[in-house]
């Protein structure tokens, strides 16, 4: 059984159809990468999964249990098991790093503060930000903020981690520090759905690559297939363009 | 409550009220333009004047923005007669509001002045323009676009809040007319509800027209530059 | 003429008159404070209602929008008269103070609602999304993420509005409230020179308005600084 499964997912904004029937499956511990041109709907898939954008059809299943995005309780339960890291880090500007990481586990999940803070310190050390506990987001570089965002997501102890173009807003020299962190998580067996432009990284870390275009999955397969011998024209065209860089 | 609403009576008085609205508009326009001239002068003094002129303009602004317009008008209407100057209510209101508006407009214009880069002024100076010419040909066109929203908004504010003050000393603008007519037909509530409605319509029309003019003017301005 | 005015000065500045004037200043400040603060609180509720999702909130949303758009376009004098007539139609012995406070309240709600709405909206949508994705309830997001940041955007203009309102209270003299302008008219009617009376009244308004507006400026600078102080120490990217 898949850890996370998406069946025929559709999402529309008024007349504009963003997702036209997306199918995805992730096994436990699998790292799946979503690639494709801008506007293909990759980020929307993640947003729908987290309940930030409503789906108009299809199904999302976690460990075989469907999620009903019209019911608040079901959405809350799904969010308990997943965590998302955004492209713009979306840190809370009025809280320091430690509080950003600990607030949700303590105030929303109701865990003991001391325990959460100890874990937060561990996580921050893991992402290489051990001395930055009391810094505020506007004192940190983009790469540092993104790593705080990752620590914040991990503090929720999610089963599934969603990463939405987490290196796209970073200066090139800061990208690697974030990729290293993700590499580590993959090695530890975290189930991850990554939307990314970093093709070399995707190739290295993902066990399956899914290419999307105009709201549909165009092709999926191991990185070797997608990058070296794409089966569909559209995939070939896209890969050809991006790999020419 | 033993009061029967008779809006019909109030609506019959519309012509009289509309006459008041015309006076409101007159007052608003005159006040705005008078105030704008003062504002331009004041902003010039504050930006380019020597220490004495700057202090003077500053004192003017601080005084008129920290005292009520009503008191300024009362001073003219009840105070000047002590010196033999008796102006009618309309004139007192006009002059009082203009001085008041001038202070606020000085600050609005000054914000615009400051936004003009030194380089433009220096370039104009090297071209031989006098200070007045610089203000006229460099600053005013440059800031007209940026401070237009503030000016347009201020005009609507004068129209709504400013002019009604005149009613207190008997000016026959919209609110004044409402009082005049109500004292005769005793339909105070209905009259004032209708007047409130007229004010809303008046300001909506004014805001809309100014917004449209702004859009048109910007396009024309863009072509010139 | 000037000499006549100078003759009036000692009589004008007698103890009794001075007391009356200071009481009137107190009344002006009380009207402003009570009316504006109450208005602010009600406006806050109105804005929260307006931002609530769900169909049940729709009628409130429409009322909130209409209320603000309408009452921002009616002069305060007209609002005051309307409140006077409406209240007196139902409660014939309502105190003028209450009527004035209600009028100030109604007017303040319309203006501060826009300030509050702007402040709440100023907090980036992205932070709200992050909170939502972590299962924050709307209330928790408001209290822990939005409000702490919105205050800095809301307070300066809100305080500026309230301080500015000290001048607008002059209009409630028209309905007979014993505030500063009303006392001024009384003294003028007693025969004191208009220049003396209204010159003094103007200075008294100035004495209330100017220091408070300077405080407002100080508040604005203080609210702006902690963040900018920290950004100036931005660390080099590692």
For residue B218, the model assigns a pLDDT of: 62
Contact C133 A79 (CB under 8 A): yes
A188 close to C (CB below 8 A): no
pLDDT class of C226 with cuts at 50, 70, 90: low
Contact call for residues A168 and A85 (beta carbons, < 8 A): no
The H-or-E segment that residue A178 falls in is helix A172-187
- A54 — contact with chain C (CB < 8 Å)? no
Asked if the Cβ–Cβ distance from A90 to C134 is below 8 Å, we say: no
Task: Note the pLDDT tens digit of each residue in B131-170.
Answer: 777 777 777 777 777 888 888 889 988 877 789 999 999 9
CB contact under 8 A, C198 and B165: no
User: Are C and B close enough to touch, i.e. 3+ CB pairs under 8 angstroms?
Assistant: yes
**In B, which residues are within 8 Å of C171 by CB distance?**
70, 165, 168
The sign one gets for the Cα dihedral B128, B132, B137, B143 is: positive
ipTM value for the complex: 0.87
Tens digit of each residue's pLDDT (9 = 90 or more) over C165-187: 999 999 999 988 999 999 999 99
Q: Is A25 on the interface with C (CB under 8 A)?
A: no
* C-alpha span between B130 and B210 (Å, rounded): 32
Chain A from 127 to 186: CB within 8 A of any C CB = 135-136, 138-144, 156, 171, 173-174, 177
CA dihedral A232, A233, A235, A236 (to 10 degrees): 110
C132 touching A (Cβ < 8 Å): yes
The whole-chain average pLDDT of chain B stands at: 85
Of C28, C18, C38, C17, residue with least CA distance to C212: C28
**Chain A interface disruption, residue of C131, C133, C138, C227, most A CBs within 10 A:** C133
Q: Would you tell me the crossing angle of helices B140-157 and B188-224 to the nearest 10 degrees?
A: 170
Q: Which of C126, C148, C237 sits opposite A143 (nearest CB)?
A: C237
Q: Record the tokens describing residue A236, joined without a space.
A: 């070939």
Check whether B224 has a pLDDT greater than 80.
no
pLDDT score recorded for residue C225: 62
Instruction: Please give the Cα distance from A51 to A81 (Å, whole number).
Output: 13
* pLDDT-derived band at C47, boundaries 50, 70, 90: very high
pLDDT value at position B201? Answer: 92
Task: Return d(Cα A122, Cα A36) in angstroms, integer.
Answer: 35
Quick: pLDDT tens for A98-127. Answer: 999 999 999 998 899 999 999 999 999 988
| Distance from C-alpha of A29 to C-alpha of A160, rounded to nearest angstrom | 9
Do C75 and B78 lie within an 8 Å CB cutoff?
no
**10 Å Cβ neighbour count for B129?**
16
* CA–CA separation, A48 and A10 (whole Å): 9
Contact B68 C193 (CB under 8 A): no
Residue B221 CB neighbours (<10 A): 13
Residue identified by tokens 């903020």 is: A145
The full 3-state SS of chain C, as one line of letters, equals: CHHHHHHHHHHHCCHHHHHHHHHHHHHHHHHHHHHHHHHHHHHHHHHHHHHCCCHHHHHHHHHHHHHHHHHCCCCHHHHHHHHHHHHHHHCCCCCHHHHHHHHHHHHHHHHHHHHHHHHHHHCCHHHHHHHHHCCCCHHHHHHHHHHHHHHHHHHHHHHHHHHHHHHHHHHHHHHCCCCHHHHHHHHHHCCCCHHHHHHHHHHHHHHHHHHHHHHHHHHHHHHHHHHHHHHCCCCCCC
Contact A92 C236 (CB under 8 A): no
B126 touches chain C (CB under 8 A): no
Residue C234 phi, psi (nearest 5): -55, 130
Is any Cβ of chain C less than 8 angstroms from the Cβ of A80?
yes
Q: Does pLDDT of A245 surpass 70?
A: no
| Best CA proximity match to A169, nearest among A140, A136, A146, A201 | A146
CB-closest option in A79, A135, A174 to C237: A174
Task: Name the closest residue on chain A to residue C152, using Cα atoms.
Answer: A94
């Amino acid at each position: 059984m898949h850890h996370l499964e998406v069946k025929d997912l559709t999402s529309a904004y008024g007349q504009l159809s963003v997702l036209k029937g997306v199918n995805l499956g992730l096994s436990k511990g699998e790292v799946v990468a979503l690639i494709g041109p801008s506007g293909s709907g990759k980020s929307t898939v993640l947003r729908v999964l987290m309940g930030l954008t409503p789906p108009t059809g299809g199904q999302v299943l976690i460990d075989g249990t469907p999620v009903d995005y019209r019911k608040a309780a079901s959405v809350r339960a799904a969010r308990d098991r997943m965590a998302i890291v955004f492209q713009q880090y979306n840190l809370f500007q009025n809280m320091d790093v430690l509080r950003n990481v600990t607030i949700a586990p303590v105030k929303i999940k109701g865990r003991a503060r001391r325990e959460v803070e100890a874990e937060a310190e561990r996580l921050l050390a893991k992402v290489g930000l051990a001395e930055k506990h009391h810094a505020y987001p506007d004192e940190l570089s983009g790469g540092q903020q993104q790593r705080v965002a990752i620590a914040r997501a991990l503090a929720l102890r999610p089963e599934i981690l969603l990463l939405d173009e987490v290196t796209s807003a970073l200066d090139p020299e800061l990208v690697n520090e974030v990729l290293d962190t993700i590499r580590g998580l993959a090695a530890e067996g975290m189930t991850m759905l990554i939307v990314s432009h970093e093709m070399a990284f995707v190739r290295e870390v993902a066990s399956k690559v899914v290419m999307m275009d105009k709201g549909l999955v165009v092709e999926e397969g191991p990185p070797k297939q997608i990058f070296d011998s794409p089966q569909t024209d559209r995939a070939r065209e896209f890969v050809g363009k991006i790999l020419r860089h | 409550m033993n009061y029967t609403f008779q809006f019909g009576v109030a609506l019959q008085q519309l012509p009289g009220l509309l006459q008041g609205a015309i006076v409101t508009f007159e007052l608003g326009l005159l006040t705005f333009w008078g105030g704008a001239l003062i504002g331009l002068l004041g902003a010039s003094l504050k930006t380019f004047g020597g220490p004495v002129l700057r202090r003077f303009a500053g004192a003017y602004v601080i005084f008129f923005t920290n005292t009520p317009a009503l008191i300024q008008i009362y001073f003219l209407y009840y105070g000047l007669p002590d010196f033999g100057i008796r102006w009618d209510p309309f004139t007192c209101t006009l002059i009082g509001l203009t001085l008041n508006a001038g202070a606020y407009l000085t600050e609005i214009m000054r914000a615009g002045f400051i936004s003009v880069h030194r380089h433009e002024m220096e370039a104009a100076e090297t071209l031989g323009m006098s200070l007045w010419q610089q203000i006229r040909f460099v600053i005013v066109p440059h800031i007209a676009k940026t401070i237009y929203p503030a000016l347009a908004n201020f005009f609507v504010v004068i129209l709504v809040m400013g002019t009604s003050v005149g009613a207190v000393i008997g000016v026959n603008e919209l609110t004044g007319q409402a009082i005049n007519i109500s004292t005769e037909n005793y339909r105070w509530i209905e009259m004032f509800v209708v007047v409130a409605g007229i004010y809303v319509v008046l300001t909506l029309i004014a805001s809309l027209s100014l917004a449209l003019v702004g859009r048109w003017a910007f396009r024309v301005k863009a072509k010139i530059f | 003429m000037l000499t006549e005015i100078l003759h009036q000065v000692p009589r004008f500045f007698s103890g009794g008159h001075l007391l009356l004037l200071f009481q009137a200043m107190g009344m002006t400040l009380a009207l402003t404070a009570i009316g504006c603060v109450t208005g602010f609180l009600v406006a806050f509720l109105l804005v929260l209602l307006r931002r609530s999702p769900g169909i049940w909130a729709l009628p409130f949303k429409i009322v909130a929008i209409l209320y603000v758009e309408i009452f921002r376009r009616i002069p305060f004098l007209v609002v005051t008269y309307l409140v006077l007539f409406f209240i007196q139609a139902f409660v014939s012995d309502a105190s003028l103070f209450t009527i004035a406070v209600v009028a100030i309240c109604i007017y303040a709600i319309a203006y501060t609602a826009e300030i509050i709405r702007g402040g709440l909206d100023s907090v980036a949508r992205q932070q709200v999304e992050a909170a939502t994705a972590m299962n924050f309830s709307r209330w928790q997001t408001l209290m822990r993420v939005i409000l702490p940041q919105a205050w800095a955007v809301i307070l300066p203009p809100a305080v500026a509005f309230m301080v500015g309102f000290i001048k607008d209270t002059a209009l409630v003299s028209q309905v007979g409230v014993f505030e500063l302008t009303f006392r001024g008219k009384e003294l003028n009617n007693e025969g004191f020179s208009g220049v003396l009376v209204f010159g003094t009244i103007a200075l008294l308004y100035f004495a209330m308005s100017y220091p408070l507006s300077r405080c407002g400026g100080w508040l604005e600078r203080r609210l702006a600084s902690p963040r900018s102080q920290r950004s100036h120490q931005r660390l080099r990217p590692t």
